[in-house]
Amino acid sequence: MRRALFAGLLLSGLGGCALLAGPVPFPDPHLPAVHAVAETEPVNTDGDAADDPAVWVDRRDPARSLIVASQKRYGVLLYDLKGKLLQSLPAGRINNVDLRDGFVLDGREVALVAGSNRSDASLDLWVLDPDARALRDVADGVLALGLHDPYGLCLYRSPRSGDTQVFVNDKDGRVQQWRLVARANGRVGIEKLREFRLDTQPEGCAADDTGATLFLGEEGRGVWVLGAEPGDDANTRTLIDHTGTGGQLVADVEGMSLLRAADGAGYLVVSSQGEHAYAVYDRSAPHRYRGKFAITDDLAAGIDGAQETDGLDLVSADLGGVYTRGLLVVQDGYNTLPAANQNFKLVPWSAVEKRLSLLPPP
């Protein structure tokens, strides 16, 4: 059963707003709860539009780090850590985004951002310019994937080959892996490495560049872990958690990301969308379940919690201020306080560490 409160009962001044279709759902009140400390400006269309964030860490000045986010009815958006919108790029129906630093293009290292584009079933690629604080298209033409409906996407830096690769999946269950190739014309092309299939609809994924593993969500079923190298057998995979009896997840299994601490330590965080919660697992095998939390309304600060989260991203870097232990960014399906189009919420990772007792021993 989906818990719900009528927005009008919960929030004064919300009445009459047409942005929220029906009641605002809320998580099990017994779950450990954390608050967001900032939120982005609302996206530029109503309905289910915000989807997947990716955090870029500015190593020169961490407070100037950026959030790239897909707006799946419009394109891509770029925000600063205060949630201020810096750029809107009308690129089409970009579903998921991800990024990696250190991609060599035109003889220098750049931050490369990839997006799955449902408008023309292609892969979009941009360079994130840290000085202009803007995205610039670098795809070498329309990078057609040959998929019917590109959906989930995540990047991978192979520890064996050093290649930057992308995993992109289709609602029909297909999962593709492509190498990203810097071309002489200063643009980036793709070369297909492998394709495999899940039984039902995948979406969220996250690749571990140290462990050479891919975490892959099957929305109605659970989270798989498998070898991320193109030569690995995708049929050799392990379900680390699942929906239904005995599992910790409530469908849909949605966005996921890794907190990459030193020496392969850290966590995998997964949106358990059907219960408006987030499940945490060890990054390293056997990927032990560490607990679940919700992001709830902070009425005093005027920042609402997050419900029905699609995409999320997580970084371990010290971004200063309240983010010294890292940052979690999640999509919020019901942006209230006040009611507005969907947006993204920023949560200090230290709050999750504290509520789930994940802190390292002193």
Beta carbon nearer to Ca ion, 208 or 219: 219
Residue 139 makes contact with Ca ion by CB under 5 A: no
Report the DSSP beta bridge partners of residue 37.
none
**Residue ranges with strand state E in 188-318:** 188-197, 202-208, 213-218, 222-227, 237-242, 253-260, 266-272, 277-282, 289-295, 312-315
Q: For residues 228 and 157, what is the distance between their CA atoms, to the nearest angstrom?
A: 10
Residue pair 51/72 in contact by the 8 Å Cβ criterion: yes
Please name the amino acid found at residue 308.
E
Distances (CA, A) of 297 to 29, 95, 291, 301: 12, 27, 20, 9
Q: For residues 84 and 15, what is the distance between their CA atoms, to the nearest angstrom?
A: 27
Binding mask 287-326 for Ca ion (x = CB under 5 A): -----------------x-----x----------------
Minimum Å gap between C-beta 33 and Ca ion is 13
Residue 337 makes contact with Ca ion by CB under 5 A: yes
Q: How many residues bind Ca ion (CB under 5 A)?
A: 8
Minimum Å gap between C-beta 118 and Ca ion is 12
Q: For residues 126 and 115, what is the distance between their CA atoms, to the nearest angstrom?
A: 9
Choose which of 215, 224, 267, 334 interacts with Ca ion (CB under 5 A): 334
From the list 89-97, 129-137, 276-284, 328-336, the region that binds Ca ion by CB under 5 A is 328-336
Beta carbon nearer to Ca ion, 258 or 337: 337
Residue pair 196/166 in contact by the 8 Å Cβ criterion: no
Q: For residues 171 and 215, what is the distance between their CA atoms, to the nearest angstrom?
A: 17
Show contacts with Ca ion in window 172-231 (CB under 5 A): 203
Beta carbon nearer to Ca ion, 124 or 310: 310
Minimum Å gap between C-beta 81 and Ca ion is 16
Q: Is 349 helix (H, G, I), strand (E, B) or coil?
A: helix
Residue 124 makes contact with Ca ion by CB under 5 A: no
Show contacts with Ca ion in window 17-76 (CB under 5 A): 48
Beta carbon nearer to Ca ion, 185 or 200: 200
Beta carbon nearer to Ca ion, 181 or 299: 299
Beta carbon nearer to Ca ion, 241 or 310: 310
Q: Give me the residues that bind Ca ion (CB under 5 A), please.
A: 48, 203, 304, 310, 332, 334-335, 337
